[in-house]
Structure 1
């Protein structure tokens, strides 16, 4: 089970590192086209990059390893917000992605807290 958690955590970290980096690099016009304010888009980007680092580094370096499941819990909350946002916008075709990411982050949080 430990190896499976590491694989899931690494996959989540890669997804959120890439997603966060894209949000941080995008100009305001691109974020506006995605119907995100500049502040919200950049904040989400920072949270995603920090969570990606938090999933892997504390546990891998054995420095405050409790931060890794906390980062996974933060991603659960972030994805819950994304689900609500997509449903409010009636973007039902894309809501499956944050649902899957939420479930994977919850599995990692549960596995590392247990």
Structure 2
């Protein structure tokens, strides 16, 4: 279970580190080709989502790695499921309606939650 947890958590953390950094650092014009929903969302909200993704990614890795409050990894994973559920709603109400990645992230994070409850 340990190897499975670290594999899934590492991949999700890498994804969310990239996605969060992009949302925090790039302008709306540079985000638009990847994320059609940025025109319907205030830039401060996009930046806040990026910050949440960066913090959540570190929450998946650092607590179990250091042994300090490892339950925070479970909280971060649950937070990512809620974040992606909201993302599905945003995509379905917009024009893009591309939710395949979001559903895949929900499934991967659900596996991580299961692994965290059996391993941590």
User: TM-score, structure 2 length as denominator?
Assistant: 0.86
CA distance in 1: counterparts of 2:105 and 2:29, whole angstroms: 27
CA contact (8 A) 1:79 1:101 kept: yes
Partner of 1:20: 20
The answer for unaligned runs of 5 or more in structure 2 is none
CA distance in 2: counterparts of 1:80 and 1:45, whole angstroms: 16
Name which of 85, 88, 91 aligns with 1:86. 91
Tell me by how many angstroms 1:40 deviates: 1.1
Do residues 52 (structure 1) and 24 (structure 2) align?
no
The answer for unaligned runs of 5 or more in structure 1 is none
Partner of 2:11: 11
- For residue 91 of structure 1, give the secondary structure of its aligned residue in structure 2: coil
CA contact (8 A) 2:4 2:115 kept: no
CA distance in 1: counterparts of 2:29 and 2:42, whole angstroms: 9
Partner of 1:100: 104
User: TM-score, structure 1 length as denominator?
Assistant: 0.90
Q: Greater relative contact order: 1 or 2 (C-alpha under 8 angstroms, separation 6 or more)?
A: 2
Tell me by how many angstroms 1:31 deviates: 5.0
Tell me by how many angstroms 1:24 deviates: 0.4
